[in-house]
Amino acid sequence: MTEESFLNDLSLSLHEAWHLLQSGAGDRHSPLHTPAVATVTGDGIASQRIMVLRSVDQAKRQLRFNTDVRGSKVADIRRNGTVSILGYHPEAKVQLRLSGTAVVQSEGPVADAAWQQATLYGQRCYLADPGPGTPAGSPTSGLDPDIEGVKPTPEQVRPARANFAILLVDVQTIEWLYLAHTGHRRARFDWNEAAHEWNSTWLVP
């Protein structure tokens, strides 16, 4: 979409935001393929990490990420599902700050399909033992040396399925910032569940 079409149009800006997210999920070269995802720790502190955006369902306002059930983000989300997601697309000149509620699903058809879609190398990450974040006395990938540096077989990665989960984020707000040399534009979109529509407003950038 061209700048002229959405610059002064809230609904087209929202449309462009979803378009950028969708292409971020599908295009590994897009900067929105790897946004920062923040959770809230048990101490009430924000904790961010980069994650690969795997899929976007605009109709459901849902984003999907893959992760290891043993990671600290999963513990955070099980305690408090509030998440914030941040990305910047320099070519599109758009910053997106989303917030919403996340759930972790390690079983079910969507998690199974996500596991099947992952490559053997991708699945291998979930074989780390002990789990991510465990202190180690020496430098380690967490993987058995036998499968480091080689393509694992489906049999070898099978036990990793138990550590794999999807993280589904129900997007509740989208904050849009578009950088334009003529004058930036900032907008906020809040999902109104009762009316089943987005409440939209411009903000001073």
Q: Which residues bind ligand FMN (CB under 6 A)?
A: 34, 47, 49-52, 65-68, 71-73, 132-133
Which structure tokens are listed for 138?
Answer: 């020496």
User: CB 37 → ligand FMN: shortest distance, Å?
Assistant: 8
Q: Which C-beta is closer to ligand FMN: that of 83 or that of 187?
A: 83
Would you say 70 and 22 are in contact if contact means Cβ atoms under 8 Å apart? Answer: no
User: CB 33 → ligand FMN: shortest distance, Å?
Assistant: 8
| Rounded Cα distance, 143 and 130, in Å | 9
User: CB 154 → ligand FMN: shortest distance, Å?
Assistant: 21
Question: How many CB atoms lie under 10 A from the CB of residue 127?
Answer: 20
Please report, for residues 83, 101, 123, the alpha-carbon distance to residue 45 in angstroms, rounded to integers and kept in the order given.
12, 17, 30
CB-based closest residue to ligand FMN: 71
User: CB 95 → ligand FMN: shortest distance, Å?
Assistant: 18
| Rounded Cα distance, 171 and 200, in Å | 14
Would you say 108 and 115 are in contact if contact means Cβ atoms under 8 Å apart? Answer: no
Q: Which C-beta is closer to ligand FMN: that of 36 or that of 177?
A: 36
Q: Which C-beta is closer to ligand FMN: that of 68 or that of 175?
A: 68
Q: Which C-beta is closer to ligand FMN: that of 13 or that of 67?
A: 67
